[in-house]
Amino acid sequence: MVVMDLEMVEQVARLDEWVAEGGVVVLSGAGLSTDSGIPDYRGPSGSARRGSPMTYQTFTGDPVARRRYWARSHLGWRTIGDARPNEGHRAVARLQERGLLAGLITQNVDGLHQAAGAREVIELHGNLARVVCLGCGERSGRAELEDRLSAANPRFEAVAVTINPDGDVELDDAEVDGFTVVDCLTCDGMLKPDVVYFGETVPPERVSRSFALVAGARTLLVLGSSLTVMSGRRFVLRAVRDGIRVAIVNRGVTRGEPYADLMIDAPLGVVLPNLAPITV
């Protein structure tokens, strides 16, 4: 249990005042989902040290790497698919329900904001619950694919040891040998999780919608993001350029700290429920 010291209490009180004014745009990152059992890349539970994430170029150009990814992801989905929203997700959904949020942008691919009741979430990097065919563009549900992978690999009994934020797990190559990858039922094209891999570009429409939200905000509230990659940091830079105040709640180092009007280094599950509490 984390107990807030006097400085943190004062910081949260200041953030609470800003949130109560409304017009808040939330930008969330992997740190928001760690309490749901999904590790982040660079925070206290980070997995960036354990290897490089899959890139689009490797996935599409290397059949062996693609097979390895699907074998690992097939196991990892059991954790991602079963994950449930935590207190932080629920707090964000309550703020939206009360009309205090002007928008919600997430870098996460786990769908937990929506599971907590949030609406109109801009998923910058997509969602692991969907699969897209790179041939015909058809999208389908991940549950259907998992059934097909299980049927194609009835003897696949590898055990996941460590799960990564993008949904795959750590496995020895020997455990991947013989894993069968399935293709699109419509055109036999290559299937890929409907997420933005490293080396891909976030769809321009999502970026423009996000910039529009930030432009109209009173406060940009960054939750659980190290802001290491430009995909999220660009919205902080735009807010600073436009004179919009920036608040960050994150465990550990973040590259957004030099730009923040308020920086709170604390667990999100402790801070967020204290924002605009419902009084009886």
Contact 76/110 with Cβ under 8 angstroms? no
Instruction: Identify the three-state secondary structure at position 126.
Output: strand
Query: Residue 42, annotated ligand binder?
Result: yes
Q: What is the DSSP letter of 50?
A: G
Query: Residue 178, annotated ligand binder?
Result: no
Query: Residue 81, annotated ligand binder?
Result: no
Give the Cα separation of 78 and 66 in Å (integer). 19
* 125 is an active site residue: yes
Annotate 258-271 with DSSP letters as a single string.
GG-SEEE-S-HHHH
Query: Residue 186, annotated ligand binder?
Result: no
Query: Residue 45, annotated ligand binder?
Result: yes
Query: Residue 109, annotated ligand binder?
Result: yes
Q: What is the DSSP letter of 55?
A: B
Query: Residue 251, annotated ligand binder?
Result: yes
Contact 214/238 with Cβ under 8 angstroms? yes
Greatest alpha-carbon span in the chain: 61
Query: Residue 133, annotated ligand binder?
Result: yes
Task: Give 80's contacts (C-beta < 8 A, 6+ positions apart).
Answer: 38, 110, 128, 163, 167
CA 98 to chain centre: 23
Query: Residue 189, annotated ligand binder?
Result: no
74, 89, 113, 125: which is the annotated catalytic residue?
125
Query: Residue 252, annotated ligand binder?
Result: yes
Measured in degrees and rounded to the nearest 5, phi and psi for residue 22 equal: 80, -175
Query: Residue 278, annotated ligand binder?
Result: no
**Binding annotation for NAD(+):** 29-49, 107-110, 224-226, 250-252, 268
**Binding annotation for Zn(2+):** 133, 136, 184, 187
Positions annotated as catalytic residues are 125
